[in-house]
Amino acid sequence: MEFKKNMFYITADAVVFTILSKELKILLIKRSHEPFKSKFALPGGMVNIDEDLEEAAKRELEEETGVKNIFLKKLHAFGEVNRDPRGRMVTIPFYALVDGEKINLNSTSGAEFAQWFSVYELPELAFDHKKIVDDALKHLRYEVKNTNIAVQLMPEDFTLSELQNAYEIIFNEKQDKRNFRKKIKELGILKAIPGTKMDGAHRPAKLYSFKEKGYKML
Chain CA centroid to CA 134, Å: 12
Instruction: Tell how strand 8-20 and strand 94-97 pair up.
Output: parallel
Contact call for residues 56 and 48 (beta carbons, < 8 A): yes
Chain CA centroid to CA 36, Å: 23
Q: Which residue among 49, 201, 217, 218 contacts a copy of itself (CB under 8 A)?
A: 49
Q: Which is nearer to DNA, 53 or 193 (CB)?
A: 193
Which residues inside 16-45 make contact with a copy of itself, applying CB under 8 A?
A: none
Q: Which residues pair with 40 in a beta bridge?
A: 30, 125
Contact flag: residue 1 with a copy of itself (CB under 8 A): no
39 binds, among DNA, a copy of itself, none (CB under 5 to 8 A by kind): none
The burial of 104, by beta-carbon neighbours within 10 Å (0-12 exposed, 13-18 middle, 19 or more buried), is given as exposed
Which residues inside 140-169 make contact with DNA, applying CB under 7 A?
A: 159-161
CB of 165 vs DNA, minimal distance in Å: 9
Contact flag: residue 186 with a copy of itself (CB under 8 A): no
Q: Which residue among 22, 52, 134, 172 contacts a copy of itself (CB under 8 A)?
A: 52
Q: Which is nearer to DNA, 5 or 203 (CB)?
A: 203
Closest CA to 132 of 179, 73, 87: 73
Contact call for residues 95 and 17 (beta carbons, < 8 A): yes
Which residues inside 80-119 make contact with a copy of itself, applying CB under 8 A?
A: 80-81, 88, 90, 92
Q: Which residues bind a copy of itself (CB under 8 A)?
A: 5-10, 47, 49-53, 74-77, 79-81, 88, 90, 92
